[in-house]
Structure 1
């Protein structure tokens, strides 16, 4: 990240297109290295969204971020505010049009998220949000928050749910990378027009069973517990 971040900085500073190209190249190279060095393969299932949509994804690991960026043609993220100042990563995230959000005050965070996402929506792309608000370890139970529902209603865009088992192979607080097949699966698009409550319930009912099935496919059968 340091080497490519410095070498590609002029491209990122020149244009958002340059930032997208640089980050996608980094992620694709990283996924190849994971396969060669760690025996950790990745796979994308389902139709990859290419239009102007919201992608509401299960988030278990930094690995699922790499897979999304490598697969999506023009991704940007709702991210925690602290990452804006992270070396290298923050520069590229902001140039891609990502939206930093301060955690804590619920109403203020939601307003900040909507304003930032709308302001940065100058070109069609895929806005990735994690509806549980953070990384969730395999087997942990964490409720789905209203943020994805607010974006869905305010922006008037369809939403593509996404499931994953990435946390089985790359833990949220672990340096260990386990061999196997990490999957991100894009599910059928949810059209506009649902109420916020119905939308959030539908997200959870579609993402959780598929994520559980992907984890079971990877041989992981966790005891479910509160995150």
Structure 2
């Protein structure tokens, strides 16, 4: 019960801090993409700091995040992995559902960071638009983050990897850095409880361009799922009952 109360207090203050930090740094962010990055990374680091002492949740990034143009294909389990991956990269932008642009604070910053919105309800057109938007934005080099399963997937659940990641890999001709995680064990998709432990996102060895789409997708899924399973076991996940 005590951990649950601590978790609720942590969540409340975390969401109060979001508009405070976002509005405070908005004048800088409006005139400089550097300011937008500083605001988003500053907020994320604030969340990591408060999580560490309020609920005993530490955040750890492993592996080597790429520092040039790259496609980042990540496992997605909760809001926490978004912040951890973003903060670890020098110039990250997300492929995301277009509804996020309508959210206060988050939507405005997503625009300033040149994130790529797609309509997930129109799958084929969404992929075409995704590629077109990415190509149009290549004058701004950086790391393009895509969640290959399309949504948050709780520990113990299986969901297929969507073809959009393979399309981008082919069209962009860039290296792809897979990312595994265990954050859903400690910061679940649903519910208010935040568990003590070490949340990890791990950048795996890059997949160089040149593979066929099928070979790329198979390797991506194998690498990310096998490493995520190991990280979740490290965090104490033993099966569906722990999710």
Highest Rg: 1 or 2? 2
Match of residue 67, structure 1, among 84, 91, 96: 84
Contact 1:52–1:124 (Cα < 8 Å) also in 2: yes
User: Comparing both structures, which one devotes a greater share of its residues to helix?
Assistant: 2
Residue matched to 1:200 = 217
Q: How far 1:69 sits from its partner (Å)?
A: 1.5
Q: How far 1:175 sits from its partner (Å)?
A: 2.1
* Alpha-carbon separation, structure 2, partners of 1:222 and 1:150: 33
Residue matched to 1:35 = 52
* Alpha-carbon separation, structure 2, partners of 1:179 and 1:117: 38
SS at match of 1:4: helix
Contact 1:64–1:166 (Cα < 8 Å) also in 2: yes
Contact 1:98–1:120 (Cα < 8 Å) also in 2: no
Q: How far 1:122 sits from its partner (Å)?
A: 2.0
- The answer as to 2:127 corresponding to 1:110 is yes
Q: Which sits farther off after the overlay, 13-22 or 164-173?
A: 13-22
Structure 1's consecutive aligned runs of 4 or more residues displaced over 6 angstroms after TM superposition are none
Q: How far 1:48 sits from its partner (Å)?
A: 1.7
Between the two proteins, the alignment pairs up a number of residues equal to 224
* Alpha-carbon separation, structure 2, partners of 1:29 and 1:72: 17
* TM-score of the pair, normalised by structure 1: 0.96
Instruction: List alignment gaps of at least 5 residues for structure 2.
Output: 1-17
1:51-72 C-alpha deviation (Å, 9 max, x unpaired): 1101100000000011011111
SS at match of 2:139: coil
Match of residue 174, structure 2, among 157, 179, 182: 157
* TM-score of the pair, normalised by structure 2: 0.90
Q: Which sits farther off after the overlay, 80-89 or 103-112?
A: 103-112
Residue matched to 1:215 = 232
* Alpha-carbon separation, structure 1, partners of 2:22 and 2:40: 9
Match of residue 44, structure 1, among 42, 45, 61: 61
Match of residue 55, structure 1, among 69, 72, 95: 72
Contact 1:79–1:98 (Cα < 8 Å) also in 2: yes
Q: How far 1:123 sits from its partner (Å)?
A: 2.1
- The answer as to 2:39 corresponding to 1:19 is no
Contact 1:98–1:117 (Cα < 8 Å) also in 2: no
Q: How far 1:116 sits from its partner (Å)?
A: 1.6
Residue matched to 2:161 = 144
* Alpha-carbon separation, structure 2, partners of 1:223 and 1:66: 25
Q: How far 1:159 sits from its partner (Å)?
A: 0.2
